[in-house]
Chains A and B, each alone.
Chain A
Amino acid sequence: MKVRLADIAHARSGDKGDTANVGVIALRPEWYALMVRELSEARVAAHFHGMITGGVQRYELPNLHALNFLLHGALDGGGTLSLKTDAQGKVFSTAMLRLILEVPDAEGATLGLPDAKG
């Protein structure tokens, strides 16, 4: 089944120079392990292809059921240099939540995952 990240997590993002940080927080504790497995650095880098010029780093915060991603080269130089509307990476959070995960049907049923319609 297909699962939209927006249906199983919430997120907030901000900036450090030319790097955007995106914190992704599981809506239910039991969905955190799935996020850890599916949201690899490579997967997230592929998702943001065309939006970032640098690499992706991931950190785990199991107590908070959250992952923190650093997206390098995300902000056209960052801060005052940037020409972007989102010069401080404030909505990279929701851009991340557009990600669609492929989850085996049986696992989806066990975890009570919402199906991404359409």
Chain B
Amino acid sequence: MKSVVRIASGQGFWGDWLAAPRRQVEGGPVDYLMLDYLAEVTMSILQKQKERDPAMGYARDFVGAIDSVLEAIVERGVRVIANAGGVNPRACGDAILALADKRGARGKLKLGVVTGDDLLPRLDQLIAEGHALANMETGEPLAAIRDRVLSANAYIGSVPIVDALAFGANVVITGRSTDTALTMAPLRHEFGWKADDWDRLAAGIIAGHIIECGAQCSGGNCLHEWQSIPDLANVGYPIVEARRDGTFEIIKHPGTGGRISVPSVTEQLVYEMGDPHAYITPDVVADFTSIRLEATGQDRVRVFGIRGAPATDKLKVSIAYRAGFKAVGTLVYSWPDAMAKATLADRVLRERFTMLGLSFDAILTEFVGVNSTHGPLAGDGHANDEVQLRIGVRSSDRTMVERFTRELAPLVLNGPPSVTGFAGGRPKVEEIVAYWPALVDKTVVMPQVEIVE
């Protein structure tokens, strides 16, 4: 049995640095590679893709990631855990098997595919049985938007991933599991932490929270002394070096850029934080106020003292639904008096909306800008050298939004002067897929593990 387990984070979201997974398995010893692809917004994007093509709906970057680390998996026994399955984990598994065929590695990859998070086929039954799936923010019952629902996925905890590892899977693909479960699962698997060992489970969750956003804890997007953070071009993604007692250190491979310090880790700890006394997950309720941090070396921070409390009897459900249309357009106004010109353009536009009888659920104007129009001539004062007028509208009526997209270009010839930045053409109308967070009784969600070879 290992006394120390190293879990490397290789992706913090779908769209993260493609080189990171390979750098993590080649930069030094690691036991597991954890890849987090899902955010609230990601699920709705994946759902749109699955609508267009039933074989899609997963994070396709994952196929390239596995391709880049295949040797480490097959030769060196590094195991990969990813929520790349999105709204279609089986299709994701199929894509990985197709890759294994292509690379002559069929038979060497054992996939664990975790399903059971998808509640969409059971939604009407659940509502009929009295599960209101009320919006956690507004309290409205799901019935109010039932006909517009596109997807409904429960956040699954670490248990089915632990099962997949116990079955010998060397690649585990999940759908909407919690981000933190991806790190917690190998720790439970390796150390045999009990299901009511709340303090250790909370430590696993907090380890997961620290590394789930990739380099965001190791120097990326770090405000603290950002000017002196070295070599971000080669930033090292974080690694949890964990012990059986639930203490762990955050490290990165030697020779990589970035920085792991108490402030960099603290910034990640408070990221997307609600009530720090109760960080609720399917496995445990973690107490972020109990965390203690200590720098134990260069780019090495020890995390200890963590307390946890029993898990609740609910699971969070992420529901995506159609919620109207939006479009955002931009025009750039240049020096002199850029701000005054942009302000006038905004006023002209809004008057024209009124003349056309256009009404929107929301109109938002923002003014953005520094030096794209006059280059170095703009100097470094940045006092109103240029302003990008950015205006967006939202409506349940698609035709209203379509009409809006035709009103920006005319301003180039019939509005305020010194205008540019219109070459992109008319703004695009987007259908809004909105997010509906809800809770459901744990007992109605039954995750399953399929082993595919």
Q: Interface centre among A13, A17, A19, A93, by most B CB within 10 Å?
A: A17
Which residues of A are interface residues toward B (Cβ below 8 A)? 10-19, 21, 23, 25, 27, 59-66, 68, 70, 76-81, 83-85, 88, 93-94
Tell me the bound Cα distance from A61 to B291 in angstroms: 9
Closest CB in chain A relative to B449 CB, distance in Å: 29
- Contact at B223–A80, with CB atoms within 8 Å? no
| Chain A residues positioned under 8 Å from B292 (CB to CB) | 63
Asked whether any CB of chain A lies closer than 8 Å to the CB of B289, the reply is yes
- Contact at B40–A79, with CB atoms within 8 Å? yes
- Contact at B40–A64, with CB atoms within 8 Å? no
Of the candidates B271, B277, B432, the one whose C-beta lies within 8 Å of that of A59 is B277
| Chain B residues positioned under 8 Å from A77 (CB to CB) | 362, 434
Asked whether any CB of chain A lies closer than 8 Å to the CB of B328, the reply is yes
- Contact at B291–A21, with CB atoms within 8 Å? no
A23 in contact with B434 given A10-B263, A83-B393, A84-B366 (CB within 8 Å): no
- Among residues of B, the one whose C-beta sits closest to the C-beta of A6 is B223
Asked whether any CB of chain A lies closer than 8 Å to the CB of B275, the reply is yes
Of the candidates B224, B270, B368, the one whose C-beta lies within 8 Å of that of A21 is B270
| Chain B residues positioned under 8 Å from A64 (CB to CB) | 266, 269-270, 288, 291, 293
Asked whether any CB of chain A lies closer than 8 Å to the CB of B392, the reply is yes
- Contact at B290–A63, with CB atoms within 8 Å? yes
- Contact at A10–B223, with CB atoms within 8 Å? yes
A17 in contact with B137 given A63-B291, A80-B432, A83-B362 (CB within 8 Å): yes
| Chain A residues positioned under 8 Å from B426 (CB to CB) | none
Q: Interface centre among B224, B276, B290, by most A CB within 10 Å?
A: B276
- Contact at B291–A25, with CB atoms within 8 Å? no
| Chain A residues positioned under 8 Å from B366 (CB to CB) | 84-85
| Chain A residues positioned under 8 Å from B305 (CB to CB) | 63
- Contact at A25–B266, with CB atoms within 8 Å? yes
A85 in contact with B223 given A12-B270, A25-B263, A79-B434 (CB within 8 Å): no
Tell me the bound Cα distance from A75 to B238 in angstroms: 30
- Contact at B266–A81, with CB atoms within 8 Å? no
Of the candidates B263, B273, B364, the one whose C-beta lies within 8 Å of that of A68 is B273
| Chain B residues positioned under 8 Å from A80 (CB to CB) | 41, 44, 323, 432-435
- Contact at A83–B328, with CB atoms within 8 Å? yes
User: What are the interface flags for B233-261 relative to A under an 8 Å C-beta threshold, 1 for contact and 0 otherwise?
Assistant: 00000000000000000000000000000
Of the candidates A16, A60, A78, A79, the one whose C-beta lies within 8 Å of that of B274 is A16
Tell me the bound Cα distance from A11 to B443 in angstroms: 39
| Chain B residues positioned under 8 Å from A88 (CB to CB) | 41
Tell me the bound Cα distance from A77 to B433 in angstroms: 12
| Chain A residues positioned under 8 Å from B276 (CB to CB) | 59, 61, 68
Tell me the bound Cα distance from A68 to B274 in angstroms: 8
- Contact at A12–B433, with CB atoms within 8 Å? no
Asked whether any CB of chain A lies closer than 8 Å to the CB of B16, the reply is no
Asked whether any CB of chain A lies closer than 8 Å to the CB of B437, the reply is yes
| Chain B residues positioned under 8 Å from A70 (CB to CB) | 274
A23 in contact with B273 given A66-B266, A80-B432 (CB within 8 Å): yes
| Chain B residues positioned under 8 Å from A65 (CB to CB) | 266
30 A-B residue pairs with CB within 8 Å: A12-B268, A14-B271, A14-B272, A14-B273, A17-B136, A17-B437, A18-B137, A21-B271, A21-B272, A23-B267, A23-B269, A25-B263, A27-B224, A59-B273, A59-B275, A61-B270, A61-B276, A63-B292, A63-B305, A64-B269, A64-B291, A68-B273, A78-B435, A79-B41, A79-B44, A80-B433, A81-B434, A83-B326, A84-B364, A88-B41
- Contact at A12–B274, with CB atoms within 8 Å? no
- Among residues of A, the one whose C-beta sits closest to the C-beta of B137 is A17
Tell me the bound Cα distance from A63 to B221 in angstroms: 23
| Chain B residues positioned under 8 Å from A63 (CB to CB) | 289-293, 305
Tell me the bound Cα distance from A88 to B157 in angstroms: 25
- Contact at B435–A66, with CB atoms within 8 Å? no
- Contact at B323–A81, with CB atoms within 8 Å? yes
- Contact at A25–B267, with CB atoms within 8 Å? yes
- Among residues of A, the one whose C-beta sits closest to the C-beta of B435 is A79
Closest CB in chain B relative to A9 CB, distance in Å: 10
Asked whether any CB of chain A lies closer than 8 Å to the CB of B131, the reply is no
| Chain A residues positioned under 8 Å from B302 (CB to CB) | none
Tell me the bound Cα distance from A80 to B272 in angstroms: 17
Tell me the bound Cα distance from A81 to B342 in angstroms: 25
| Chain A residues positioned under 8 Å from B110 (CB to CB) | none
- Contact at A11–B272, with CB atoms within 8 Å? no
Tell me the bound Cα distance from A64 to B291 in angstroms: 8
Tell me the bound Cα distance from A68 to B417 in angstroms: 45
| Chain B residues positioned under 8 Å from A93 (CB to CB) | 223
Given A63-B305, A64-B293, 12 more pairs with CB closer than 8 A = A10-B267, A12-B267, A21-B274, A23-B273, A59-B277, A61-B289, A64-B269, A68-B273, A80-B432, A83-B326, A83-B393, A83-B394
Asked whether any CB of chain A lies closer than 8 Å to the CB of B390, the reply is yes
Tell me the bound Cα distance from A83 to B274 in angstroms: 24
Tell me the bound Cα distance from A84 to B268 in angstroms: 24
| Chain B residues positioned under 8 Å from A18 (CB to CB) | 137
Tell me the bound Cα distance from A63 to B265 in angstroms: 13
| Chain A residues positioned under 8 Å from B433 (CB to CB) | 80
